[in-house]
Structure 1
Amino acid sequence: MHGNDRSILAIAMTGHGMVHAFEMSIPVFLTYWMAAFEVGTGTMGTVVAVGYALFGIGALPGGIAADVYGSKRLVMACLLGMGLAFLLLGFGGIVGLTAALLLWGAAASLYHPSGLRLISTGIEERGSAFAVHGMAGNLGITLGPLVAVLLLLVLPWRAVAAAFAIPAILAAIAVAFVDVDETAAVAGTDGAEADGGEPAGSDSSAPGSAGSESEDPGSGDPESAAPGTGDPPSIREIIADTRLLFAGAFVLVFAIVILQGFFYRGILTFLPEVLSDSPVLEPVVLLDREVAPARYVYVALLCVGMGGQYLGGTLSDRYPPERVAIGAFLLLAVLSLAFVPAATVGVAALVGVSLLIGFVLFGEQPLMQAVVAEYTGSGDRGLAYGYMYLGTFGVGSIGAAVSGAVLAYTTQQALFVVLALVPTAAAIASAVLYRRGRG
């Protein structure tokens, strides 16, 4: 990679790491919030789901803004907004908490469509870049809850939440001083890539991309991907672009990312609570202080996801990502069904299944990011990623509320059976997409 690629990747990695550090610290705070506000898993699941929903819903206008104004500005706004939200997190009761999470969700929603657009239009080796970018996200996913767990040993949760704002604000200032060419990878390309015609690496018979039959001149024009080159689109133009986008195989991609997000939110939001309830992970006393092993198992699960991200991104450069995703989703279904039985076997089995879930769960994310890039045109890439994260973190946030309700009224075994159905459906949809787009 040359200097511009490295600068783009540095911005994207910083933003991705920060977003997920904040995102995954929320489940750690969740236990403290339930105690402080005297609410159960059902109520708290709904509160968290509201913030997570805006994280996804805001991705669509964020993607549109990225296509018009450029990605770097939105990454900066994201970092500043998240910092402000966590500064406000400790004020007020449950209503104040909900408002702060809404603000966090709105700010965080700007990142994914802008950051992924930045990579897909600025870096030619996007599969490898997505992998490294994903690893940075997993580093944030690991460090966020780990830092929260360690700070909560010595500080009240309100002080810890406020402390999270400092690195986000500093990161926003640092990004402001980095100059990049956001369209280096699409400037001078031929119409095939820019139009998002056949998926990369496939033969000419591969149908399915809406961009391949696009009548929108912007989709095939590298200049259309440049930031700040036009006025914000009208509602009619957005609707027209959306209809074009969903006219092809992207409708299947959208269904898959909704299922992906549902499972992601459904399993991760209450996993610290589920692990804490396991009799094989009971708290222990170290140096006169009670330590909960379940929290560290959760952090380890997130940490191994970095390896999954790297493997998923590497495989997406070598094989059709839809095909690899089929296996990943099926494996997640099997691991979900194995979780509760593993807890009855012992510590090694429970930790092993948990780590495998983390590895595979995060490994399939760069696969889906690559699928979106291959089935869309560069001029609409921000819009496409906006819809992707509308589905993943917006509609998919229902998974947090559903998991909370299932835990409140049934059993852990029932929860993991319900969750296993979700990646099973995603695997079926991925198989249909592969057959339609590559067959």
Structure 2
Amino acid sequence: MKAEEGREVFLLGLSHALVHGYMLIYPAVLVLIMKEFRVGYFLLGLLGTISNFAFGLGALPAGFLSDRLGARRLIFLYLVGSSLSALLISLSTTFLQLALGLGLLGLFCSLYHPCSLALLSHFQERGKAFGIVGALGNIGLALSPLLAGYLASLRGWRSSFPSFSLVGLLLALAYLIHGRKLGIGGEGRHRETLLTPAREDNGFLTPALILLVCIQMLAGFSFQGATTFLPTYLGRRVEMQLLGLDPVRIGGLMASISLIIGVIGQYLGGYWGQKSEPERLYLFLITATLPSLLAVGSSRNAILVLSAATFAFFYFFAQPVGNILLASLTSASARGRGYGISFFFSFGIGSMAASFCGLVAEKISLSAVFYCLSLVNCLQVALAIVLRGMRRKAPSSLREGR
């Protein structure tokens, strides 16, 4: 990987860590928000749905705009806008203000994924780039519940948001400096593909791509449903009395330990996804998440943490493999749109999981949430089997990308 691309991969990786950090502050401090506003799991889940739906909703126009205006401009906008949104959340005093702030945060964060993936897909070693950026994102995903939970337990839940906001503003400055060297809109090495598409591709929504988007939508549903309530669930079912930790810090710590395993999965997914038949590997990884989800719903203490870590490992292993597969199903000129549609469905439609799982937790139990998500995973497996069969019948030229 050339030095210019290496620097951009590092900055995109840090930005990836931050975007997941922002989106996981709320689940980490959910217990404290419940106490302050005196609301139940359903309304808490509804707040999560608002944030996550905005996270997916903005990805759709972001994907189209990245093909037209340049990915780097939108990534810079994400860094600045999300930082300001986090500051607004910290100043909220009513449930409505909190909901609006979380929605705005989700909307700005939605710009990141389709733009960064479209940019990375044109790199010479895109599998490696996907893996590195994904792994750095997972570090943020794993550490943010721990950091947010720790800050919240010391100074209240509002203190978590401005801490992340400061990091975002520093990253925005660094990306602006980097962008001025290359052209913040996408000038330089990738100008043709990001700003002036070589050709229009109005028929890019092939049956295989639609099927892949459906699988990723179900994966997003499972992930968002699990991560919204995982810190609270771990805090109540993992006993660590000897350490003298409160449930908020226990939940954040255990969620971080579980999710840090995903760093390994992300890197391996980027490495193996380009070296093997991606649709076959994708099917295996989706299938492997099923037993771990079932185990999360039925276990406690060390077995529960191990099961959550196993789920995170296979889920994040599958992510770069799916992104590589999507790149092979779209032309260079339509790749931003492809990733935008994918993330709209996986995060936007998948955001319904937060309120659905909140209702399940309120009416049945927190354990039942993970059993329901296991059923969703079964449907993913069925669709992945169909996708693999469809791809095996396709000409080799289409399997390699157009």
SS in 2 for 1:249: helix
Name the CA shift for 1:148/1:92 in 2 (closer, same or farther; >3 Å). same
Counterpart in 2 of 1:27? Answer: 27
CA distance in 1, matches of 2:239, 2:297: 13
Alignment of 1:403-418 (within 5 A): 403-418=357-372
For residues 26-60 of structure 1, what are the alpha-carbon distances to aligned partners after superposition, in whole Å with 9 as ceiling and x for unaligned?
21021111111111110010111111101001101
Is 1:108 paired with 2:67? no
Higher helix share: 2
In the alignment, structure 1 segments of 5+ residues that lack a partner are 188-222
Q: Which runs of 4+ in 1 moved over 6 A?
A: 183-187
Aligned residue type for 1:180: L
Native 8 Å contact 1:15 1:115 kept in 2: no
Counterpart in 1 of 2:194? Answer: 226
CA distance in 1, matches of 2:365, 2:342: 32
Percent identity of paired positions between Structure 1 and Structure 2: 30
Counterpart in 2 of 1:374? Answer: 328
Moved more, 325-334 or 72-81: 325-334
Native 8 Å contact 2:258 2:306 kept in 1: no
CA distance in 2, matches of 1:102, 1:52: 8
For residues 160-181 of structure 1, what are the alpha-carbon distances to aligned partners after superposition, in whole Å with 9 as ceiling and x for unaligned?
2222211101111110111338
TM-score of the two chains, using structure 1 as the length reference: 0.83
Displacement of 1:282: 5.2
TM-score of the two chains, using structure 2 as the length reference: 0.91
Native 8 Å contact 1:325 1:427 kept in 2: no
Name the CA shift for 1:375/1:48 in 2 (closer, same or farther; >3 Å). same
Aligned residue type for 1:300: I
For residues 125-150 of structure 1, what are the alpha-carbon distances to aligned partners after superposition, in whole Å with 9 as ceiling and x for unaligned?
11111011100100111222222122
Is 1:351 paired with 2:339? no
CA distance in 2, matches of 1:360, 1:162: 32
Counterpart in 2 of 1:194? Answer: none
Counterpart in 2 of 1:99? Answer: 100
Aligned residue type for 2:215: I
Counterpart in 2 of 1:247? Answer: 206
SS in 1 for 2:39: coil
Moved more, 95-104 or 136-145: 136-145
Alignment of 1:26-425 (within 5 A): 26-90=26-90, 91-121=92-122, 123-178=123-178, 179-180=181-182, 182=186, 223=192, 225-227=193-195, 229=196, 241=202, 244-278=203-237, 280-281=238-239, 283-284=241-242, 286=244, 290=246, 292-343=249-300, 347-425=301-379
Native 8 Å contact 2:127 2:273 kept in 1: yes
Native 8 Å contact 1:333 1:422 kept in 2: no
Aligned length in residues: 386
Native 8 Å contact 1:13 1:137 kept in 2: yes
Counterpart in 1 of 2:400? Answer: none
**Of the two, which has the highest radius of gyration?**
1
Name the CA shift for 1:31/1:412 in 2 (closer, same or farther; >3 Å). closer
CA distance in 2, matches of 1:226, 1:312: 25
Name the CA shift for 1:185/1:316 in 2 (closer, same or farther; >3 Å). farther
Name the CA shift for 1:116/1:164 in 2 (closer, same or farther; >3 Å). same
In the alignment, structure 2 segments of 5+ residues that lack a partner are 394-402
Displacement of 1:418: 1.2
Displacement of 1:290: 4.1
